[in-house]
Homo-oligomer: A and B are copies of this chain.
Amino acid sequence: MSITILEIASLTGVSKSTVHRALSGSDRVSEDIRRLVLDCAERHQYRPNISARVLVGARTYLVAVLCSDFGNIHFAHFLRGVSKTARDSRYHLLTVNSLEELKNLTPLGMEGVISFYGDAAYHNEPQFEGLPTVKLIKEESPVCEGGDYISGRLSYGAGLMMRYLFEQGHRRIGHITLDQPGDRGINMKFTGYRNALRSIGLEYDPELVAHAEFYLEESGYEGAMKLLRQKNPPTAIFALADILAAGCYRAAQELGLRVPEDISICGYDDKEYSSFLRPPLTTISTPYNELGQRAMEMLVRRIDKLPPVTEEPILPELVIRNSVYNIAAANNGR
């Protein structure tokens, strides 16, 4: 274990109070003694005992990051962002798997919580365990008015893609959505699709929407099959997730349709594999790393009781590759 404040005191021949003052920055200590103490602390690699600090209610610079699935690659990127800002602001991170575990760990003295895509059930609580809390959510909604939150802006992303498809001349745009109970984000994307249709001036046609059951390639395949076998099939399919888009590719291949010449396909997520699909998939990328950094910045301000600042929003980006055909140009060229 590390050396304690009391040991430094006896080593330097001053009292623990004086050591504390010297260590905790410019209080009332003479310059000589400060030097002496700081020197001794440095030499013995003194590190304050966080646990003791907690007990007396002092600051800990500990922040909990809540995520129910550590295996999620998006979380991994998010965490990397959080971790970066945390390091810059001398905070320490504590990853927590569930609300139950968070409760068990609160005595460690965390000063705040960052929550990654929590269950919809928790959206209503503005903070966890009475601690300042920043939540990453899939899409803003009135429910979240109370607390601090940062949004993946799925609806915006969906609109981005829809507008792009429209610009490329597509008018019949299919959509594969995912019916996952309790996950508001996905319905939000569906909403994004519908809103975009409206703003573009296209009519909503339920025939153009397939409902996938699982987050699997197979579900995308089935959805695409349903959409493409109609008498008047769409010219483009916007799949809710890249993994579903991969399934669409397989369906297209099986039906003898070329991507993108015969059918345009695009996804959402920009997974690592998406650029390796043939043709490389046009998709939407969410900058989770930046979202993580921003979330931590927001939390730090909140902990410091600073008023929230309105910064430029962090928006999903359109990643244009080769899976969407420019119908407009093709028609012009004809």
Shortest distance from the beta carbon of A305 to any chain B beta carbon, whole Å: 19
| B69 x A80 contact (CB < 8 A) | yes
A69 to B83, CA, bound (A): 10
Shortest distance from the beta carbon of A68 to any chain B beta carbon, whole Å: 10
A52 to B53, CA, bound (A): 10
Chain B residues whose C-beta falls within 8 Å of the C-beta of A274 in the assembled complex: 273
Chain B residues whose C-beta falls within 8 Å of the C-beta of A1 in the assembled complex: 106-107
Chain B residues whose C-beta falls within 8 Å of the C-beta of A54 in the assembled complex: 51
Closest to A276 in B: B273
- Identify whether the interface residues of A are mostly helix, strand, loop, or mixed: helix
Which one, B52, B76, B95, contacts A107 given CB within 8 A?
Answer: B52
Chain B residues whose C-beta falls within 8 Å of the C-beta of A107 in the assembled complex: 1-2, 47-52
Chain B residues whose C-beta falls within 8 Å of the C-beta of A71 in the assembled complex: 76-77, 79-80, 289
Chain B residues whose C-beta falls within 8 Å of the C-beta of A92 in the assembled complex: 101, 104-105
Chain B residues whose C-beta falls within 8 Å of the C-beta of A200 in the assembled complex: none
| A246 x B276 contact (CB < 8 A) | yes
Chain B residues whose C-beta falls within 8 Å of the C-beta of A95 in the assembled complex: 93-95
| A108 x B50 contact (CB < 8 A) | yes
Q: Does A272 contact B (CB under 8 A)?
A: yes
Give the oligomeric copy count: 2
Q: Does A29 contact B (CB under 8 A)?
A: no
A54 to B50, CA, bound (A): 10
Q: Does A73 contact B (CB under 8 A)?
A: yes
Chain B residues whose C-beta falls within 8 Å of the C-beta of A106 in the assembled complex: 1-2, 47
Chain B residues whose C-beta falls within 8 Å of the C-beta of A69 in the assembled complex: 80
Given contacts A106-B47, A273-B272, contact A73 B70 (CB under 8 A): no
A194 to B83, CA, bound (A): 40
Q: Does A234 contact B (CB under 8 A)?
A: no
List residues of A whose CB falls within 8 A of some B CB. 1-2, 45, 47-52, 54-55, 69-73, 75-77, 79-80, 83, 87, 92-95, 97, 101, 103-109, 246, 271-274, 276-278, 289
Closest 9 CB pairs of A and B: A273-B273, A49-B107, A51-B54, A51-B51, A71-B80, A70-B79, A95-B95, A76-B76, A273-B276
In the assembled complex, 21 residue pairs joining A and B whose CB atoms fall closer than 8 Å, in A order, are A1-B106, A47-B106, A50-B104, A51-B55, A52-B55, A55-B55, A70-B76, A70-B79, A71-B76, A71-B289, A73-B73, A83-B97, A92-B105, A93-B95, A93-B97, A246-B276, A272-B272, A272-B273, A273-B274, A273-B276, A276-B276
